[in-house]
Amino acid sequence: MSDSLDHYLEQRLSTVRDAGLWRRTRILDGPQRPEQVIDGHRVIAFCSNDYLGLAGDPAVAAAARKALDQYGVGAGAAHLINGHTRAHEELEQALAHFTGRARALVFSTGYMANLALVQALVGRHDTVFEDRLNHASLIDAVRLSGARSQRYRHAEPAHLRERLEKAPATGQRLIVTDGVFSMDGDIAPLPELAALAREYNAWLMVDDAHGLSVLGDTGGGSCQYFGLGSDDVPILMGTLGKGFGTAGAFVAGSERLIETLIQTARPYIYTTAMPAALAAATLASVHIAASAHDRREHLQNLLRRLGDGLDRLGLPHPPPLTPIQPVTLGTATRASAVAERLFEAGFLVPAIRPPTVPEGEARLRITLSAAHTQTQVDALLQALERALDQT
């Protein structure tokens, strides 16, 4: 039996190797910051989602240490048993205030938050309208909900309108989109989506994992960037392991939305709560993010500098609005080769290959942080030019 299983798995693994899509885990020694030691090599990392540089912030770490003394390490149980501490409660209140919503609910991961949301809101008699480039967690959430899926062309409200017009009139309608798309770095056309949701009596849900803390005057994300409130986007999901620099996720919305999740969402009910020390650390990072105008301004300056450099190299890239700046190179083989050249030169920039992105659109995913310097960005551009010449 075990021999049969191993033979089957080896065939699958061989297919991945032959396609040039093999993945491996790199080992980081030390904190999350631009200058790192990866697999024993000193590099400057341009791949982290730590957009404001909060993952290694001393104030965030100090809050975690203090909470460890107070609460210990593990939560011990689910939120609804005795795993919900005052630290969790204070974090949820802060996240509700940060996003301008009535309430917020904390989850252990963004994947779980999306599974909980979609399954709590729709079922097999309902229809979900999805952007084609939505995150995998949203795609899986819709599949597991049993709802009818209608995918519309990426960031094209006109195609969404066509889908809405042709969809069955029965059941609920849910429009689901990323706020900032994780592989392309562009921002969803939220005002148009909100208008369509109102016109066709649909609910709009935004996964703003990559927009929160970065976009908007106070880091309120893609909704704040467009001046949209809870009436426009009643269902908001955000993660804590990116711009906020810790781990976990949350859902923000109305009193009834949050209470519905507490009462019905299996990924919430049946999961151990995140450690209280992590909640306390995140509370500190949320307070920092709300007033981090200097960090966001520095990040925007770095983005413009990177964009100018990519233009000089003749490399297409999205507008320098979000920290995600992909450079599409075509084949998985070429993207991997350039990434390896950069690593040898002391820069960690991952190659993103199919099936994460479509065939022929393999890319380098450059991400910037407020912790980077102009000198580091300039050095990356010089190394990228050399790496492209060598492949």
* Residues with active-site annotation: 182, 210, 242
Is 293 annotated in a binding site? The answer is: no
Closest CA relative to residue 180, chosen from 200, 203, 154, 218:
154
Is 135 annotated in a binding site? The answer is: yes
The strand pairing partners of 128, in sequence order, are: 149, 174
327: three-class secondary structure by DSSP: strand
Is 179 annotated in a binding site? The answer is: no
The span from the first CA to the last CA of the chain, in angstroms, equals: 45
118: three-class secondary structure by DSSP: helix
CA 22, 23, 28: angle at the middle one, nearest 5?
150
178: three-class secondary structure by DSSP: strand
Q: Output the DSSP codes for 225-271.
A: HHT--TTT--EEEEESSSTTSS--EEEEE-HHHHHHHHHH-HHHHTS
Residue with tokens 């995913």: 365
Pairing, β 362-367 against β 28-29: unpaired
105: three-class secondary structure by DSSP: strand
Is 210 annotated in a binding site? The answer is: yes
Query: Which tokens go with 374?
Result: 């102009």
Q: Which residue type, as a one-letter code, is found at position 142?
A: V
Is 14 annotated in a binding site? The answer is: no
* Eight-class DSSP state of 350: P
Is 145 annotated in a binding site? The answer is: no
Is 153 annotated in a binding site? The answer is: no
What does the alpha-carbon distance between residue 184 and residue 318 come to, in Å, rounded to a whole number? 7
Is 110 annotated in a binding site? The answer is: yes
- Binding-site positions for pyridoxal 5'-phosphate read 110-111, 182, 210, 239
- Binding-site positions for substrate read 23, 135, 356
